[in-house]
C-alpha cells in the first residue's frame, strides 16, 4: 500500500457531496425532531425499529446491531426513553440475561405523531431533490457499500 491512487475530480466531488449531505441532513433531521416531538434522531430510529419489530419489542443487542450503535450507548438511550415513558424494559423469559426493549402505547403515539413531519423533511431535503436515476444509483451504490461494511465483514473469507 505504498502510494494509493489519489481521488480524481469526480471522485472528490462525490466524496465531498456525500460528507456534506451526511452532516447537514443529520443535523436538520435531529433539529426538527427535537423541535416537534423532543426526540433525537437516534431516539426516533429506536422507536421506528421497535415499531417494526415482532410484538413491538427487541433484545438490546439485536436492537443495537440494527441501529449500528454500541451496546452501552443503547443502554443509555433506552434508559432515557424509559424515563419518558416511550419504551419499557421487560425481562427475557428464554434467557435470564436478556432484556427486551418494548414500545409503549405512548411511544407508539409519539412515533405516529413524529413520522409524517420527519418523512416530509427527508423528502424535501433529499429524496425529492434527486432524479429517479440518481435515487436508484444511490440505492444500488450505497447499498452495496453498506453491505460490505456490515459486521461480519472480514470474517471467513472464502478461500476461492
Partner DNA sequence: CCAGATTTGTTCAAATTCGAATCTCCTGCT
Partner DNA sequence: AGCAGGAGATTCGAATTTGAACAAATCTGG
Taking the C-alpha atoms of residue 74 and residue 65, their distance in angstroms, rounded to an integer, is 10
Q: Is residue 36 within 8 Å of residue 114, measured between CB atoms?
A: yes
- Reported as half-sphere exposure (CB side, CA atoms, 13 A), residue 60 has a value of 19
Site string for its own copies, 75-114 (x = CB under 8 A): ----------------------------------------
**If binding is defined by CB under 8 A, does position 133 make contact with its own copies?**
yes
In angstroms, give the least distance from the CB of 18 to its own copies.
6
In angstroms, give the least distance from the CB of 6 to DNA.
26
If you ran DSSP here, which 8-state letter would residue 55 be given? Answer: G
Site string for DNA, 63-102 (x = CB under 7 A): ------xxxxxxxxxxxx--------x--x--xxxxxx--
**If binding is defined by CB under 7 A, does position 61 make contact with DNA?**
yes
Provide the CA 131 distance to its chain's centre, in angstroms: 24
- Residue 121, classed as helix, strand or coil, is helix
Amino acid at each position: 500500500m505504498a502510494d494509493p491512487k489519489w481521488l480524481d475530480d469526480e471522485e472528490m466531488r462525490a466524496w465531498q457531496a456525500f460528507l456534506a449531505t451526511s452532516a447537514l441532513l443529520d443535523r436538520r433531521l435531529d433539529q426538527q425532531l427535537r423541535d416537534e416531538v423532543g426526540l433525537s434522531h437516534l431516539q426516533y430510529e429506536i422507536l421506528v425499529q421497535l415499531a417494526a419489530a415482532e410484538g413491538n419489542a427487541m433484545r438490546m443487542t439485536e436492537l443495537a446491531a440494527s441501529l449500528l450503535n454500541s451496546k452501552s450507548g443503547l443502554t443509555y438511550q433506552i434508559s432515557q426513553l424509559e424515563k419518558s415513558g416511550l419504551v419499557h424494559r421487560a425481562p427475557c423469559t428464554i434467557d435470564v440475561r436478556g432484556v427486551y426493549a418494548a414500545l409503549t402505547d405512548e411511544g407508539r403515539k409519539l412515533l405516529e405523531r413524529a413520522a409524517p413531519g420527519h418523512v416530509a423533511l427527508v423528502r424535501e431535503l433529499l429524496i425529492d431533490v434527486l432524479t429517479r436515476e440518481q435515487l436508484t444509483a444511490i440505492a444500488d451504490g450505497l447499498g452495496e457499500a453498506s453491505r460490505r461494511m456490515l459486521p461480519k465483514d472480514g470474517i471467513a473469507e472464502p478461500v476461492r
